Amino acid sequence: MESIISGELPSFDAHFLRVLIDNRPDLESQFGLEVPVLFVNGRKAFKYRCSSKELHQRLLREARR
């Protein structure tokens, strides 16, 4: 998923922050079964996987807001 994210970010005014949940009981209990999880503007946008097209469409929607 990171390669897809890296491929789409240059087209948008967006930043990527990778958060590891290992040894973080609070995050492991919240997201452990959904990793990887991708948030866009603080909202869960994808879990497990997303395509470049799906991410691009989501980022376009967010940019229009």
11-56 residue pLDDT tens: 998 889 999 999 999 999 999 889 999 999 999 999 999 999 999 9
Instruction: Write down the pTM of the prediction.
Output: 0.84
Per-position DSSP letters for 32-60, written without gaps between them = TTT-SEEEETTEEEEES---HHHHHHHHH
pLDDT at 39: 95
pLDDT at 50: 95
- Domains belonging to the chain, first-starting first, are 2-64 (3.40.30.10)
Distance, C-alpha 10 to centroid of its chain = 15
Contact 16, 9 (CB under 8 A): yes
